[in-house]
Each structure stands twice: as structure tokens, then as C-alpha cells.
Amino acid sequence: AMEEDGLRQILLNTLEKAQLGTTGLVIIICTTGRPDLLQDALHQSFTKRYFVGLPDVGVRQQVLLQALTPQGCSLNDRELNAVLQRAEGFSVWELLQLSQQALSSASSPTGALHGLATSPKPPDFTDFENAFCKVRPHTTTKELDNCIEWSKMYSH
């Protein structure tokens, strides 16, 4: 908590210096999953605020398929849709972690002949099921609802 307070104070000091300076246009991009915890002074430092939600099913599909490009995707349409549905609430970063975990599960040695290297196989549905056991979204539904409410109040 003290570390977070220190980071907030550094950000606030930086913003104050930018507002007092004559350096011209300054663009600062910040992100938080808890905008409701930011101090009013910090909110007032930003002229624009935007809420960027979690990826929809189309973006989730694009992220997963892009992450799987090196090995390909062996999921059929039904399996892919099941993975995409289960990944609802995942951020792009979490989707990339999920893909990486599925790729890792697919490439784990399961019967390679006498330790000989085999070419990596594309992850299958079971690999994704295993990945879901290890990778979960970090944001709760309540936190997302709070962000959406905050967005309605403060976004431009």
C-alpha cells in the first residue's frame, strides 16, 4: 500500500510540474483497474479520461489466434467458441498468458522417443482446459462494474 501511495505521489508531482511548465503539449497515458481509488487531485490533472473495456469475443479470437500463429490452432469451431466463451473477462495480457500456457502444455514431453526432440504441436482443447486451471482473470465482475460506473461519471 505504501509503495502504491508513493507511485501515486510521484505521478501527481509529475503532473503538477507538467502543468506549470512551458514545454508544450504533454501526453500522459495511465491505466488502472481501480479509478475509484484515485485522489481527486489526480483526477483533476487529466483533461481527458477514457474507459477501455475488456476485449469482446472478436478481439479475444484475434488475440488467441495471433498468439498461436507459430504452431497453429488445432481447435475446431465448437472448441474455439468454448475457449472464447470461457475467456470472457480476460484482459489481452491474460489471453496472451492463457495462450502461452496452452502452448507450453502442448509442447510438454508426453512420450517423446528416448528424449528425441519433436516439433511443437498446436495446442488442443485439453491444453486450453489445463491452461484455464493456471490462468484466471485478475479483475472481478464487481471491479469491472465499478470501472464502468466511474467511466459514466468521469469519461469524456
Closest CA to 56 of 34, 79, 98, 87: 87
The answer as to whether 109 is a domain residue is yes
Do 46 and 61 reside in the same domain of the chain? no
Residue 136's pLDDT is 92
Do 44 and 61 reside in the same domain of the chain? no
Which pTM value belongs to this model? 0.70
Name the residue type at position 45.
S
Count of domains forming the chain:
2
Do 47 and 64 reside in the same domain of the chain? no
The answer as to whether 85 is a domain residue is yes
Tens of pLDDT along the chain (156 residues) come to 556 778 878 877 877 777 776 656 767 777 777 777 777 777 777 777 777 788 999 999 999 999 998 888 889 999 999 999 999 989 999 999 999 999 999 887 654 555 555 667 899 999 999 999 999 988 877 887 877 787 777 665
Give kind and range of the element (H or E) at residue 13: helix 2-20
111: helix, strand or coil = coil
Residue 80's pLDDT is 96
Q: What is the CATH number for 120?
A: 1.10.8.60
The span from the CA of 147 to the CA of 156, in Å, is 14
Contact 55, 91 (CB under 8 A): yes
Q: The domain containing residue 17 runs over which residues? A: 2-52
Long-range contacts of 103-111 (CB under 8 A, 24+ apart): 103/67, 103/68, 103/70, 103/71, 103/127, 105/130, 105/131, 106/71
Using only C-alpha atoms, the chain has a radius of gyration, in whole angstroms, of 21
Measured from the Cβ of residue 109, the count of other Cβ atoms closer than 10 Å reads 9
Do 70 and 45 reside in the same domain of the chain? no
Residue 62's pLDDT is 96
Do 70 and 98 reside in the same domain of the chain? yes
Name the residue type at position 23.
T
